[in-house]
Structure 1
Amino acid sequence: MTSSNTESDTVEMPGDLSFADLQIHPAVLQAVADVGYESPSPIQAATIPAMLAGSDVVGLAQTGTGKTAAFAIPILSKIDTASRTTQALVLAPTRELALQVAEAFSRYGAHLSVNVLPIYGGSPYGPQMAGLKRGAQVVVGTPGRVIDHLEKRTLDLSHLDYLVLDEADEMLQMGFAEDVERILEGTPEYKQVALFSATMPPAIRKITNKYLHDPVQVKVESKTATADNISQRYIQVSGHRKMDALTRLLEVEPFEAMIVFVRTKQATEEVAEKLRARGFSAAAINGDIAQAQRERTIASLKDGKLDILIATDVAARGLDVERISHVLNYDIPHDPESYVHRIGRTGRAGRSGTALLFITPRERHLLNSIERVTRQKLIESQLPTVDDVNAQRVEKFRDSITTALAAPGFDLFRKLVEGYERDHDVSMADIAAALALQSRDGAEFLMTEPPPEKRKERADRPARDDGPPRKRREVRTDLATYRIAVGKRHKVMPGAIVGAIANEGGLHRSDFGHISIKVDHSTVELPAKLSRETLKKLESTRIQGQLIHLEPDRGPKGHRKTH
């Protein structure tokens, strides 16, 4: 069933297997049955036996293939629950994924006496230190915070038996390559290592060759980077008409639950608020939202109390809710990988899903990039017309009457209306229309066509029709320049700066502007109004082991400051 680690070799996936056939620990098998899983996915069927046999594993699979259970189940089956030492460490690129993986370990280890602890940037050290002191057999963490705990000697990896690198390509893309190697070098030589990645770039291959011993390679073949059970469509719409377009879609498109992706944390709140004002059940989720509130919001989404979630990429990473039938890209992502991750939130557990994309005329190049990477052509759809929306509103109005006819209390209100008809000599139809109008509270019932868009010519330059437009750096008034105490002499790259600040501060890549790396420091454009909470999180952020000392840039004088 398994093969050696060569580029062309893959593990053949056995068919008709159940979890009971995989020789996993009985307590873990019971927990798997409790959550309703019967048969393993291809990557689970190949990875679990290899890890139970003690082999190192390289798993090549896209997100949503069930790889978390593929490594959590064998580790829990072999862990020594009598020992309080840290025996398993899982490294994940983001806080969201770390929380998801820790939750999965707790779920599959529900019938074992095992302590699972997530440690990540942006949260207080105190509870994490207390959890480590009590003894956590499984630690799931982001690279920066794991290194912090190693330096504080609050995390002891001397008894480590199992190490997992989850979404390794994402970790390296975020600038954690040196942090990952530093952690690997500080672990015992004889341990079992599993590495999971969607791709195998040279940097991942280097880590594999250096730190894994004769690993089994498990590859889940995929013809495209997106699932076949997700239909993908795009709608061309002007930026200032997006809210009108979203409202029309929500009224006409049949959906069970939907995630609407936007680029910024501020946009999550704005879009959610506008949707609630229009009568939709919507809530925002972003990196600034407290974990307890996030959990309540997701629980509401799961049990049907909430239908629409407005989210950023980071906040939605690891979100797995089966009833999500639609994903809408309100703002198109700047990289195809983010698009793949976003639409992977629908079409879960074998169900079909729908991915929709709003695109402005200037963003056609981003659509082309997505189609090249996913090797799928997105189908252009037309926005529902005013007539489509009004027809749907009329149909819903008629349905609401049918429902109300059978509702408790109907007889009481019928008598009241009959009395009004007698006393005022008004027809039943007029009374019903008056009550319907009253229920609208002044809001228009039928949608009207918006005024046609007026094309505005720039006053400061004549119109041009000869040759391509000149490229200009976009001036963003929402950003300010900050200085950090790492530069060329620390061998930092822009990716490492973005990765560390985004992960520790709960920011997204779209929150970053221009980055300039000098000899002994760097400047980076970030949101001008960083919250006090975000600044507090960034106080202990390190890049290449160096505290960044984030502060507003004060120009040439600031460059002469020492740290």
Structure 2
Amino acid sequence: MSKENNTFRKFNLDKEILKALNNLEYKRPSNVQTKTIPQLINKNDVIVKSKTGSGKTASFAIPICENINVEDNNVQALVIVPTRELALQVKEEISNIGRLKKVRCCAIYGKQPIKEQISSLKQRVHVVVATPGRIIDHIKRETINIKNLNYLIIDEADKMLNKGFIEQIDTIFENLPKNKTVGLFSATIDEDIEYVCKKYMNEALIIDVEESEAINEKQIDENLIRVDQNEKYNTLKNIIYSENPKTVIIFANTREKVNKIYNQMKRDKFLVRELHGDMSQDKRIYVIKDFKENKFNVLVSSDVAARGIHIENISLVINYDIPRDKENYIHRIGRTGRKDKFGKSISIVTDKDEKYINEIQDYIGYKINEIEKIDEDDIVNGKIKFEGSQIKILKNKRNKDINKKSHSEVTRIYLNAGKKKKIRVLDIVGSLSNLKEINGDDIGVIEVCDLCSYVDILNHKGEQLLKNYKQINIKKKPVKIKRDNQNI
């Protein structure tokens, strides 16, 4: 096999998509991507059975971005997901993959002001990621135009249909054009999914990615350690010190337990944050953003982060509590060992957990390696190193180069004028194009809000623009420009 046949080049993708994938360090397609991308590019309906960690988001994001006509202002793809967290994660991945091609994606979900969403949908939006209830709301209000839709993707279909969303899925399908490509992604295929397939899909190809393919056992070193209940917290600390991970996610089964571990670790001077369902949406988003930007390195989470939260380079996952749902074990450990990276998971098992750990081992089909004892020297030496790494993180806390790492040729700029000053996308394009440093090809995705606007400046032109101008004229009025450091 030639070298090129083992990369994303074999799909004959748009050069801007390939460039974006390279920037994002997508090196080789995973099994699910190899099997799914050509089918969706060729507009064939698919049902994809695949577990977390397999790269399934990119397997539909890449074909969607490839086939988007960026000159067409209509919504061309709709992705339905069960939760707000997943909506934001999928939106981020699609936006990153399509960024250099100028594909604009937005996420709409409940508990977000509908006026903001209506305003966003009035701008050029090519892809919408939505939760079922909120997309139906927009369909009924006629605030979204889906007459030219080419793709409908239903992600985490098993979780959605299990939650009783089947009537909502019916409503969505009934309001979409008949001539579209449907992709359905699920961990399992049950009768609800077969119902959707028979009723709405056209000779769908079933792509079944085996468990061992979805999470490569060699990429995740799975372990367990048996302890008494009263030794759990000390064992947790000893694991962290002896392993000295760059980043670690600790999973607990309840919000209360998450909060208790978080407070204990904070008292013990760990650089730690918590993530659970009782937190506001905005706070959860910023916790994830700060974790990605390496502003802290220990995250204690409930299962809200086990599914749909894609944070690369997690060194270690610790199951402080053994999950009661065996599938959640796979979702949790799938936070590490992503893409071509290697990771480790350690589960802390007490007498009460024996039943659940046995169920998990039956489910995954192999015995998890048991650690008999943690070496005392490893704990002592590791503690010095780990505390040193936390001091370095505190020193670098102002580091905001996350977007530079992804797309170094893109600079996102902030303009202090928006809709309330009658500014439109065309006005911004016109003003920027009149500058000697910029031409139309250098202007990427533009977002116009009520009081401000954001613009992607491509092709390494942003730095010079910001150096030369502190303000530009839009509609004959001075508008201040600066780098956007708040981009998530």
TM-score tier (shorter): 0.7 to 0.9
| Number of the residue aligned with 1:519 | none
| Number of the residue aligned with 2:300 | 310
| Number of the residue aligned with 2:74 | 85
| Number of the residue aligned with 1:393 | 380
1:250 aligns with 2:250: no
Q: Residue deviations 1:486-535, cap 9 Å, x none?
A: xxxxxxxxxxxxxxxxxxxxxxxxxxxxxxxxxxxxxxxxxxxxxxxxxx
Q: Which has the larger radius of gyration?
A: 1
TM-score normalised over the length of structure 1:
0.63
1:353 aligns with 2:343: yes
| Number of the residue aligned with 1:132 | 121
Conserved? CA contact 1:115–1:136, under 8 Å: yes
- 1:311 & 1:261 partners in 2: Cα distance? 5
Q: 1:55 aligns with which of 34, 44, 64?
A: 44
Conserved? CA contact 1:162–1:192, under 8 Å: yes
Q: CA deviation at 1:260?
A: 0.3
1:282 aligns with 2:272: yes
| Number of the residue aligned with 1:162 | 151
Change (3 A) 1:382 1:213: same
Over the matched positions of the two proteins, sequence identity in percent amounts to: 36
- 1:24 & 1:251 partners in 2: Cα distance? 45
Change (3 A) 1:244 1:86: same
Q: Residue deviations 1:449-470, cap 9 Å, x none?
A: xxxxxxxxxxxxxxxxxxxxxx
- 2:164 & 2:210 partners in 1: Cα distance? 27
Conserved? CA contact 1:59–1:196, under 8 Å: yes
Conserved? CA contact 1:287–1:315, under 8 Å: no
| Number of the residue aligned with 1:264 | 254
Q: CA deviation at 1:114?
A: 2.8
Conserved? CA contact 2:48–2:206, under 8 Å: yes
Q: CA deviation at 1:295?
A: 4.5
- 1:260 & 1:397 partners in 2: Cα distance? 21
SS of residue matched to 1:189: coil
- 1:314 & 1:77 partners in 2: Cα distance? 31
SS of residue matched to 1:310: strand
How well do the aligned residues superpose, as a CA RMSD in angstroms? Answer: 2.7
Q: Please show how residues 342-381 of structure 1 align to structure 2 within 5 Å.
A: 342-381=332-371
- 2:42 & 2:366 partners in 1: Cα distance? 39
Q: Residue deviations 1:383-425, cap 9 Å, x none?
A: 54xxx54774378669999xxxxxxxxxxxxxxxxxxxxxxxx
Q: 1:207 aligns with which of 170, 187, 196?
A: 196
The letter of the residue matching 1:20 is R
Q: CA deviation at 1:337?
A: 0.9
Where does structure 2 lack aligned partners over 5 or more consecutive residues? Answer: 389-488
Q: Please show how residues 212-251 of structure 1 align to structure 2 within 5 Å.
A: 212-223=201-212, 226-229=215-218, 230-251=220-241
The letter of the residue matching 2:380 is R
Q: 1:176 aligns with which of 135, 158, 165?
A: 165
Conserved? CA contact 1:334–1:366, under 8 Å: yes
Q: Residue deviations 1:197-250, cap 9 Å, x none?
A: 122112212211221112233232334875312222223334444222212222
The letter of the residue matching 2:117 is Q
Change (3 A) 1:145 1:307: same
| Number of the residue aligned with 1:483 | none
Change (3 A) 1:396 1:237: closer
Change (3 A) 1:128 1:379: same
| Number of the residue aligned with 2:436 | none
| Number of the residue aligned with 2:28 | 39
Change (3 A) 1:377 1:394: closer
1:198 aligns with 2:187: yes
Where does structure 1 lack aligned partners over 5 or more consecutive residues? Answer: 1-13, 402-563
Deviates more, 1:213-222 or 1:388-397: 388-397
SS of residue matched to 2:339: helix
SS of residue matched to 1:196: strand
- 1:94 & 1:268 partners in 2: Cα distance? 20
TM-score normalised over the length of structure 2:
0.72
